[in-house]
Each structure stands twice: as C-alpha cells, then as structure tokens.
Chains A and B, each alone.
Chain A
Amino acid sequence: DTAVSQTPKYLVTQMGNDKSIKCEQNLGHDTMYWYKQDSKKFLKIMFSYNNKELIINETVPNRFSPKSPDKAHLNLHINSLELGDSAVYFCASSHGAEGYGYTFGSGTRLTVV
C-alpha cells in the first residue's frame, strides 16, 4: 500500500532514446509534482499538476512532457535523452493549497549513456 509509487526504480538508456517514468499516488491528493535531483544532490521542481491541470513548468526543455490522465497519476515522458538528463527523478503529491501531506516517491535513477 505504497502512498506514492514510481516505476521504474532504475533506468539505463542510450542517448537519443525516448523513455517514460510513471507515478501513481493513492492518497487522494489533488496536486502532483516532478522534482529532479542532480549529481550534486540539488533538488529542483520541474512540474506540478493540480487536478490534471498543469500549474508549474519550471523552464524545463520541451523534450520533457508530463502527462496526467487523472489526478492520481502523473507520468513523465522524455524524448531524445541527453547525457545531462542523468539524475534522480522524484514524483510527489500533496493535498490542497497549503501543501499538506507532501509525500515523495522513492525516486527513479535515470542514467543516460
């Protein structure tokens, strides 16, 4: 009964490929996020969705496209992967405008070779 689950946990792929990371939450939260943690451990928001609507897009390249089919799911598709995309990607969810119950998934370590 994992609260925020993301798959896969590890992803190794070649430059130029397209890949997706899936995220699902069973907490009934209305807001979901993608955060990126780089090799220096710096965590930065990429996107947020509230009830399937894109709210935040933090100057992320167009190669990254989030998709939210319903408020329990937020997937991340990445086209034409580059070496610099190697990072850990965290999905998160929260409830309401005050960010109650901010919960993170366990992360997806993406390695582009």
Chain B
Amino acid sequence: AQKVTQAQTEISVVEKEDVTLDCVYETRDTTYYLFWYKQPPSGELVFLIRRNSFDEQNEISGRYSWNFQKSTSSFNFTITASQVVDSAVYFCALDRPGTASKLTFGTGTRLQVTL
C-alpha cells in the first residue's frame, strides 16, 4: 500500500523567511512518481512538480526547491524568501505507474505567511 505523511499540519512564518515542508512516503514499487501541489484559498489545485523515482537530482525553480532523498523516502519542499502569496495548503502526493495510476495524497500542510 502507498502512503504519504506530511507531519506538519500548519506552519506560520513571517515574510522573507525560508520554510521547508516535509514529505515522507511509503511504497513497495521501485518505480514511482512524487508530486507537490499548491491549493490557495481560491481552492484550485496547482501543479508544482513531478519527480520520478530514478531522478534524485534536487530541483530549483525560482524561490522553490525540492530535495528528494530515496534513502530516507523523503521529498521535501523549500520556499526561499517566502511571500504572502505563498499562503496556501501544500500537498505532497505519490503515484504508481500503470493503468491503475492514482495519486495518493498526504494530509497537506497549511502555510501561513504574514507581513
């Protein structure tokens, strides 16, 4: 069975602080895919990143960076110099390959960025 754990329920930071959102996953598959989604107060799910299990390179996209560590089954997400617009619920998700593909989501981390 697949499982995603986001232990941080809620995080509050002041603008310009760096913040890391943790994600730990469990799977028996050797090939799998990891995702991060952002859900702002407006409610839509915004895709941030997809990473396959064979690509352990860290990725940076502007103020966002992701650290994938297979050894600890973690896929953490860091926002550098946070901004108020980063306030949202962030979901980590795990997918298996094949026609039975489905996203297994973590419970989400609510990030509140204040001035």
Contact = CB atoms under 8 A, between A and B. Distances in A.
B54 to A, nearest CB: 12
A42 B43 CA distance: 13
A31 B44 contact: no
Q: Binding site of A, secondary structure by majority: helix, strand, loop or mixed?
A: strand
A45 B4 CA distance: 14
15 contacts: A31-B101, A35-B103, A41-B39, A43-B91, A43-B93, A55-B99, A55-B100, A97-B98, A97-B101, A99-B33, A102-B50, A103-B47, A104-B37, A107-B44, A109-B43
A31 B99 contact: yes
B105 A48 contact: no
A1 interface: no
Nearest to B101: A99
Interface of B is mostly: strand
B45 interface: yes
Nearest to A30: B99
Nearest to B43: A107
B78 to A, nearest CB: 22
B35 interface: yes
Interface of B: 33, 35, 37, 39, 43-45, 47, 50, 52, 89, 91, 93, 95, 97-105, 107-108
Contacts of A92: 103
Contact of B107 (A41, A55, A97, A99): A41
Contacts of B45: 90, 104, 107
Contacts of B105: 42-44
Contact of B100 (A44, A48, A90): A48
B47 A102 contact: yes
A98 B102 contact: no
B101 A48 contact: yes
Given A50-B99, A99-B101, 5 more contacts: A35-B103, A40-B107, A58-B102, A98-B97, A107-B43
Contacts of A31: 99, 101
Contacts of B91: 43
B44 to A, nearest CB: 5
